[in-house]
């Protein structure tokens, strides 16, 4: 939803549901660690947190390894902020943190060890995920080019504010 004005800042919003669909597309590929741990992420449930300005996602997680007698299933909770990479014209999930992980069928000791590993590795693996490509026409109004400058969560929407791009 765009608010078109003749001059000054422009804004557009991206819904929580749209971000959830976009995240689902980007995590739908297997991750392999140390050639022996295979992780599959799926079915993210995204919630935008207005207080912290962070995107939170609860993601179904499956671990497989030759060391395991069967696949382990559970959930991983990640959070991150949305940022803009101009060279890619994309909004990315940035400063990603693994908030928690719970794997079904593991005792507390093993779940804690897996959680520690996931927190060390997960933030790196899930950081800088491109979620939304900004269309060139959304960055131009009349003869003025715009750049995303701020991101604010309002309810279940991410509001992106565009400011005129400084002249070179």
pLDDT digits (tens, 9 = 90+) for 61-108: 898 888 778 888 999 999 999 888 888 888 998 888 888 888 887 777
Predicted local confidence at residue 2, as pLDDT: 47
Tell whether pTM > 0.75.
Answer: yes
| Least trusted range by pLDDT, from 29-38, 148-157, 158-167 | 29-38
**Residue 116: pLDDT over 70:** yes
pLDDT digits (tens, 9 = 90+) for 1-51: 444 445 688 888 999 999 999 999 988 888 887 788 888 899 999 999 999
Confidence of residue 120 (pLDDT cuts 50, 70, 90): low
Integer Cα distance of 136 and 24 in angstroms: 24
Integer Cα distance of 71 and 63 in angstroms: 6
């Amino acid at each position: 939803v765009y608010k078109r004005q003749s001059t000054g800042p422009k804004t557009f919003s991206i819904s929580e549901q749209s971000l959830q669909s976009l995240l689902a597309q980007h995590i739908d590929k297997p991750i392999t660690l140390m050639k022996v741990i295979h992780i599959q992420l799926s079915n993210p449930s995204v919630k935008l947190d207005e207080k912290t300005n962070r995107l939170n996602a609860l993601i179904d997680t499956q671990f497989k390894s030759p060391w395991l007698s069967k696949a382990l299933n559970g959930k991983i909770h990640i959070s991150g902020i949305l940022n803009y990479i101009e060279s890619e014209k994309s909004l990315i999930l940035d400063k990603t943190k693994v908030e928690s992980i719970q794997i079904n069928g593991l005792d507390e000791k093993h779940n804690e060890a897996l959680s520690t590993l996931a927190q060390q590795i997960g933030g790196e693996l899930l950081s800088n995920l491109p979620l939304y490509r900004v269309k060139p026409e959304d960055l131009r109004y009349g003869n003025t080019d715009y750049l995303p400058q701020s991101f604010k969560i309002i309810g279940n929407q991410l509001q992106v504010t565009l400011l005129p791009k400084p002249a070179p």
